[in-house]
Structure 1
């Protein structure tokens, strides 16, 4: 995982024409999206993609799947789970209910939306951290399929595939007053046009959504 420095990031939403600035503390973020092999070692529910050495992104993972995976991996490595889920043994009837995040836990978690954009930009101010074809798999160059992680150029902080390949779940609710439990997705995917693969683009989906252009990237909090 990469140590991401703290700082400030300004988020924006085209739908509401609103912008807001968030202070971000230092944290850890995976250099790559979670792979199918990594997911299978913990969850045992995802094909390992042996034909690609397990290096294709884990996909068709709902937000609920993602938070359960984070807790399971944390327990496997002897870390404190970051999430408290309704029900028992991290199972949720109907995948509804409130998830509480313990920001002091040292276990794996999803990045916040502000952490994600701060990491994606890596100190840059433009829509992307490099020329699109150099840094991302998108509809114009992906041949309409996903690719193994790390195949494009990383950003200045050593993070790969922050744009393109698969969308990544974030912790945040998108707009609870309008969209209820819908969560934020970031980054664009292999089937998206170039305008979706930008650091500022926000997408929303129901936390039960499972679709082949959506995955996740692991984060961890840094203790003081």
Structure 2
């Protein structure tokens, strides 16, 4: 993981046509999306039931899978878990995804003082993706991302494209990444934010500002996660 410097980022919502500025404190972020090998090492299985996959991104991971993984890895490393979940939902393997339904969603809390692993917020994600750049991408798309135009319509090992100026790989393309935030509760209820674009997406979806949403229990073949940790004062 690397230390991402603090700063600010401007987020926008297309439906409401509003923009707002978010101040971001320094935090830790993984240089690559979580791999299938690392996911299996902690959980003993893969969410899609497939083989280990080595350095391929862990994909078909629901938001609840991601939350449970963060807590499981934190405990394994002797860190304080970042999330407080209902007891029935707080298992590393997550069963069939049904434990993380809407009925339990309201009970999850994030301990912002915990030193354990967590998902980045949407603001943290975009701040890290941009890495001080101001354009839609931090470099030429084919150099930095696996997308529909160059992926052969398949997932690729992490770290195979050029990193951004802060040394972060695959912030765009390969797999979408879950964020902590709810997307638009007035319209989509408990749907959570996805960022970054994936291997099957056209070039316009692989931009720093593009948002996607999904229900937190769904497992989708182009969706994974990237680990973050808070820095204590």
Q: Distance in 1 between matches of 2:124 and 2:172?
A: 14
Superposed, 1:1-224 pairs within 5 Å as 1-46=1-46, 47-50=50-53, 54-88=54-88, 90-91=90-91, 94-96=99-101, 97=104, 98=106, 99-224=108-233
Q: Is the 8 A contact 2:173 2:196 kept in 1?
A: yes
Could you state the TM-score of these two structures normalised by the residue count of structure 2?
0.92
Q: Is the 8 A contact 2:147 2:206 kept in 1?
A: yes
Shift of 1:48: 4.7
Gaps of 5+ in 2: none
Could you say what secondary structure the match of 1:3 adopts?
strand
Could you say what secondary structure the match of 2:194 adopts?
strand
Q: Deviations over 1:166-218 (max 9, x none)?
A: 00000000011111100000000000000000000000100011011000000
Q: Is the 8 A contact 2:31 2:169 kept in 1?
A: yes
Shift of 1:88: 4.2
Q: What count of residue pairs does the alignment treat as equivalent?
A: 221
Gaps of 5+ in 1: none
Q: Distance in 1 between matches of 2:161 and 2:143?
A: 6
Q: Distance in 1 between matches of 2:30 and 2:71?
A: 16
- More off after superposition, 136-145 vs 11-20: 11-20
CA RMSD for the aligned pairs? 1.3
Shift of 1:44: 1.2
Shift of 1:7: 0.3
Could you state the TM-score of these two structures normalised by the residue count of structure 1?
0.96
Q: Distance in 1 between matches of 2:208 and 2:111?
A: 27
Q: Distance in 1 between matches of 2:185 and 2:89?
A: 27
Q: Deviations over 1:31-72 (max 9, x none)?
A: 00000000000011214535xxx1000000000000000000
Q: Distance in 1 between matches of 2:36 and 2:28?
A: 21
Shift of 1:104: 0.3
Shift of 1:122: 0.1
Q: Distance in 1 between matches of 2:162 and 2:26?
A: 23
Runs of 4+ in 1 over 4 A off after TM superposition: none
Q: Is the 8 A contact 1:37 1:48 kept in 2?
A: no
Q: Distance in 2 between matches of 1:103 and 1:80?
A: 11
